[in-house]
Structure 1
Amino acid sequence: MTPRPAPSRRHFLGMATATPLAVTGALTLGAGTAYAADSAYVMCYFTESTSLGEGTDYGLHLAVSKDSLNWTPLNQNNPVVTPTAGALGLRDPFILRKQDGTFVVLATDLKGTDWSYVSQYIHVWDSADLRTFTGYRRLKLHDMNTHCWAPEAFWDAGRGQYAIIYSAVNSSGHNVIMVNYTTDFLTASAPQVFFDPGYDVIDGDMAVGVNGVNYMYFKKNQTLVGTRSTSLDPGSFKEFTTGVAHGGTEAPTLVKSLTSSTWYLWGDTYTPNGVFYAWQSTDLASGTWTALDQKTYTQPLNSKHCGITTITTAQYDNLITKWGAPAWNRLKSYNLPARYIRHSNYIGRIDEYPIDPPSDSQWKLVPGLADPAGVSFQSVKFPTRYLRHYNYQLQLDVNDGTSTFSADATFYRTAGLADASWASFRSYNYPTRYIRHSNYVLRIDPISTTTERQDATFRVGY
């Protein structure tokens, strides 16, 4: 969930106090279940720009990945479905693959940043394949004067039911993690308190049945903290880690690698930053995390509060076929990976993400104007303009149709000079020079040193 002020004192009236059922039988992985054939990942999110202008949309967005670190937004980073009831917008979406292999999508009933809006409902969709979404409804979780933020769900094998967890305010005036149980996401049991350590907690994310232990990470004091329990009983989870954070961080998302023993923990910084950071661990039980270098992962453009689920190769391919990969790219700096190529006042440079408006950092890599074997960088925001060099500095100019312009705006893509899996761009008409950044400004220069090779290396992604 994104940042909000301290909650007002809202009371749970008539809260169910039934004793939880005992968990029996083996625990099975619920949220984030990995099937034997899984080989890829799907992320759901909403989008929000720094100014809440261009690039902001409170519908359901999807992206796919083969490694869970670098993502391809679907449908040109536009929503694939949008709520038609309640606040007419969503936040904090979550995808659960159910026991029958189909999917259910849950989300907060809230559009924008009106934290005073109170809804006792969450948005729900059914989907067989994440290409079509059916049965849209809002599911009521309680009758209390409080919200239902950041819903997630997991399969509780002992109960033979799905648990829906979410953040709401208790009678002491602080957020706790609540739970309702359901078999069909059409109706739900009375709410119970799932986790209340006595202080404000939101954004619970589960990893169920990991070597017989269940884990839940949540936001505490702007950090991500882990709890664990050998049961799934409400009240059984106990904190066991110190906080992980990069500045103010929320919306933890636990992801298990499909090819190694590595776990990833994603976190989301507050609006207006909206930056994802990631940590890794090879032992979830240790509770220790190491920050990943930002060059190893790239979030979808303007993404906020994500959920990540594993899928098969066929599902990955079908999603790309249905929704399409973006017709544009973003280019990340190798040695300053928080920065992306953008234009500002028609000057080419690298600046830190998020860039507002986001279209300043979006490019179409089209066949080279002087040689179709090369590439030219066409601005998404100003499609008549291209990056070209002038006095060795890159600027965004209108194509005047001359051979000089075409030559200045054409580059040959090569293996990255600092990392062959990345890319470098050699000038068409000054073939000893490459695009590089210098004091954050883009220019073409001869390249000889290690630093210059790093300055001239970029990741072409989304």
Structure 2
Amino acid sequence: MSAHPRTTPSRRLFLGAAAATSMTLAADLAWGAGPAHAADAAYVMGYFTESPDGAGTDYGLHLAVSTDSLTWMPLNQNNPVVTPTAGAGGLRDPFIMRKRDGTFVVLATDLKGTDWGYNSQYIHVWDSTDLRTFTNYRRPHLHTMATHSWAPEAFWDASRGQYALLYSAVNSSGHNVLMVNYTSDFTTVSAPQVFFDPGYDVIDGDMAVGVNGANYLYFKSSSTGGLVGARSTSLNPGSFTPFSTSVAHGGTEAPTLVKSLTSNTWYLWGDTYTPNGVFYAWRSTDLAAGTWTPVDQRLYTHPVNAKHCTIAPVTTGEYGNLVARWGAPAWNRLKSYNHPDRYVRHAAFAARIDTYPFDPYTDSQWRLVPGLADSAGVSFQSVNYPTRYLRHYDYQLRLDAVDGTAAYAQDATFHRVAGLADSSWASFRSHNNPTRYIRHSGYALRIDPVATATDRADATFSVGY
């Protein structure tokens, strides 16, 4: 969720683990999921969308997929795949979990937009066998308090033989605490209990269960403004004690704890609300230490406008089926190598790199089509001005309408090569000025010769979504 007068509700972010061919039950339980699936090798993300001026805002369930858990491809052209039909008619803070029978359950906050006075005692729930169809939509009633039920998620409590359904609510303490109900079917739930109350506002609980004999709960703390961890040797309500250092980048919420499937690395993701909707990640090789190191922003890219995300591992077959059902994007975004918080966009038809997020967000979406002057090259067609392409004029890049001339076609054609600063990225050489490359200078895009390390970094971009 976005900023709120009392506190800032939210949800978890994308998974910071790499693909793997095997998974232990303990690691699987750390995600709150069911039995191990040896074939899990990819990831699905669920989220809703918001953008600064509302152009990219939608309160339905969106999906993205990844093979490495870091670089994400939105599905269905970043449009929702299902939207609630009851309650507020919208959702926030979705959570996807594979249940112990191998199917999925989707949970979400019953809230559309930022009407923080809408205190729903219910949450949205769907069942799904494959995340291509969503069935048995329902809204279980969690409590009778005059408060909300924010950011629900679940984990398996083996000692009870039930799922624990965790969410944020204001109880008799007068501040947000983490509540829990127990359920076997996400339809009938037990009476609510206080799961965690350190004496100040806490929201967005996220669990890692059964890690070297301990259980970990990370949450957004109003006391620090960041993400803090608590731990316990049991899963009993009231047993968790805060222990970690707080991490934040601006105002940070929506923690997600994930263990890499291929190393001893743990990732902690956070979603910021100052600025709105930017994701950051930290890493640690010792969860018990409670200290974290920032992850380089070059290493991860989340879907445009994504907010408060959830991740579940999926098989290679499920990944392929999701892409086949919902489709890959018809557009790309380009991220700057040495300013990875900035993306290539047009503004007043001038090309530049600007800090994400911004509206219109479609200014940063491009169709990479065969070069207008040479089909072996590439031209950049604007998504929101499809009759216009990026072209250079007096060495400056701008968005001009096609005029049918050979000069225009050549000015608008570039050749993609290995990134000059990092070969896993990309650089773009001018077709008719082959000693010059697209680079940013003072955040404006132009074509220039490349000679120095700074030039090479300025001329290097990632092509993603």
One fold, TM greater than 0.5? Answer: yes
Summarize the alignment of residues 212-231 of structure 1 with structure 2, pairs less than 5 Å apart. 212-221=213-222, 222-231=225-234
Identify if the C-alpha distance between structure 1 residues 108 and 168 changes in structure 2 by more than 3 Å, giving closer, same or farther. same
C-alpha separation between the residues in 2 aligned to 1:335 and 1:121? 45
Take 1:130 and 1:233, find their aligned partners in 2: how far apart are those partners? Answer: 32
Question: 1:27 Cα deviation (Å)?
Answer: 11
CA distance in 2: counterparts of 1:378 and 1:297, whole angstroms = 25
C-alpha separation in 2, matches of 1:220 and 1:132: 36
How many angstroms does 1:163 deviate by? 0.5
- What is the match of residue 358 of structure 1? 361
CA distance in 2, matches of 1:332, 1:411: 17
Alpha-carbon deviation of 1:36? 2.4
Give the match for residue 98 of structure 1.
Answer: 99
Matched residue, 1:22: none
Distance 1:44 1:271 in 2: 22
Unaligned runs of 5+ in 2: 8-25
One-letter amino acid of the counterpart of residue 39, structure 2? A
Displacement, 1:184?
0.5
Q: Secondary structure at the match of 1:139?
A: coil
| 1:390-405 matched pairs, under 5 angstroms | 390-405=393-408
Alpha-carbon distance between aligned partners in 2 of 1:220 and 1:287, rounded to the nearest angstrom: 15
Task: Name the CA shift for 1:127/1:406 in 2 (closer, same or farther; >3 Å).
Answer: same
Partner of 1:189: 190
1:30: Cα distance to partner?
5.2
1:331-372 CA-to-partner distances (Å, cap 9, x unmatched) read 000011010000000000000000211101110101110111
The letter for the 1-side match of 2:209 is V
- 3-state secondary structure, aligned to 1:434: strand
Deviation at residue 2 of structure 1 after TM alignment:
2.6
Task: Pick one of 42, 45, 48 that aligns with 1:43.
Answer: 45
Aligned to 1:19: none
In 2, Cα distance between the equivalents of 1:292 and 1:69? 11
Are 2:303 and 1:300 equivalent residues in the alignment? yes
Look up the equivalent residue of 1:128 and give its one-letter code. T
In the aligned structure 1, how far is the partner of 2:49 from the partner of 2:285?
31
Q: 2 CA distance for matches of 1:228 and 1:103?
A: 27
Shift of 1:31: 3.0
Determine the C-alpha separation between the residues in 2 that align with 1:385 and 1:212.
59
Q: Percent identity?
A: 76
Aligned to 1:264: 267
Q: CA deviation at 1:288?
A: 1.1
Q: Give the distance between the partners of 2:83 and 2:157, measured in 1 at CA.
A: 29
1:244 aligned residue (247, 263, 284): 247
State the 1:43 CA deviation. Answer: 1.0
Structure 2 match to 1:70:
71
* Structure 1, unaligned runs of 5 or more: 8-25
- The letter for the 1-side match of 2:249 is H
AA aligned to 1:114 is D
Residue in 2 that maps onto 1:5: 5
Q: Distance in 2 between matches of 1:28 and 1:292?
A: 23
Question: Residues of 2 paired with 1:339 and 1:233: CA distance?
Answer: 44
Q: Which whole-Å CA distance do the structure 1 matches of 2:275 and 2:283 have between them?
A: 25
| Change in CA separation of 1:272 and 1:288 when aligned onto 2, cut-off 3 Å | closer
Asked whether the equivalents of residues 250 and 275 of structure 2 are also in contact (C-alpha less than 8 Å), the reply is no
Equivalent residue number for residue 320 of structure 1: 323
Deviation of 1:272 (Å): 5.7
Partner of 2:10: none
TM-aligned CA distance change 1:271 to 1:50, over 3 Å:
farther
1:433 maps to which residue?
436
Distance 1:276 1:27 in 2: 24
Please say if residues 27 and 157 of structure 1, whose CA atoms lie closer than 8 Å, have aligned partners that are also in contact.
Answer: no
- For 1:115, the equivalent position in structure 2 comes to 116
2:205 aligned partner, one-letter code: G
What are the superposed Cα offsets for residues 147-179 of structure 1, whole Å, 9 maximum, x if unpaired? Answer: 000000011111000000000001121000000
- Compute the displacement of 1:230 (Å): 1.1
What is the alpha-carbon root mean square deviation over aligned residues? 1.3
C-alpha distance in structure 2 between counterparts of 1:324 and 1:227, whole Å: 40
Distance 1:257 1:378 in 2: 38
1:196-228: CA deviation from partner (whole Å, max 9, x where unpaired): 011000000111112221111000022000011
